[in-house]
Amino acid sequence: MVSREQILQWLQAFAAEITQNKQYLTELDAAIGDADHGINMDRGFQKAIAQLPTVANKDIGSILKTVSMTLISSIGGASGPLYGTWFLRASTDMAGKQELTEQDLLRLLQSGLNGVLQRGKAQLGDKTMVDVLSPAVVAFEQAVSGGEDKVTALQQAVAAAEQGMKDTTPMLAKKGRASYLGERSIGHQDPGATSAYLMLKCLLAVVQD
């Protein structure tokens, strides 16, 4: 089971990880975008964690929904609505839950991905966060249906996410600002794929503890 406390710890850990990688994410975005991904994410997640005390005793759905609303209203650019949608969809099925089973976690990750796919219309291979979120869901699902526990399943999801992140480097961007560069987007790792990997890595770290 993943407890409400662990979900709160994950959000704190991810916000700290974003702050630590703010410069790095911004440099990645400087190469193929407008050099603001680290700044956008840091602003949004700092605001989101500032809201957590107001929902500390609420269910996991309420916690995720609060994060979503804060991200949608405070991050500019493409990533605000996309991360906001990920958290919004992740929150819906988790309403009323104080802890999550492996199946709940699977639904959380699947719903978040589906939200991003519907909102952003990116496909696998378009050089976006989808190239991390999607293989992570596939790996997690395979592990869970093979009877693995949540830590093992998340380890496999994070390994797939890391590979997905690295795989964005040779890709030609087909969505977002990077797509304006055409061929010149090739050879750079996607910033949103990188932040999405960090998000899953932080979830594993908290669940593993």
CA distance 202 to 204: 5
3-state secondary structure of 3: strand
CA distance 98 to 148: 22
Taking CA atoms, 25 is separated from 17, 18, 130, in Å, by 11, 8, 17
Residue number, 105 or 165, with CB nearest to Mg ion: 165
Question: Which stretch of DSSP H or E encloses residue 208?
Answer: helix 191-208
Binding-residue pattern over the window 33 to 72 for Mg ion, x denoting contact by CB under 5 A:
xx-xx-----------------------------------
Could you say which of 6, 66, 68, 128 contacts ligand ADP (CB under 6 A)?
128
Nearest alpha carbon to residue 75 among 202, 207, 195: 195
Could you say which of 193, 199, 200, 203 contacts ligand ADP (CB under 6 A)?
193
CA distance 79 to 75: 7
Does 135 help bind ligand ADP (rule: CB under 6 A)?
Answer: no
**Site residue total, ligand ADP (CB under 6 A):** 24
Binding-residue pattern over the window 23 to 62 for ligand ADP, x denoting contact by CB under 6 A:
------x---xx-xx--x----------------------
Residues near ligand ADP, by CB under 6 A = 29, 33-34, 36-37, 40, 77-79, 82, 116, 120-122, 128-130, 175-177, 190-193
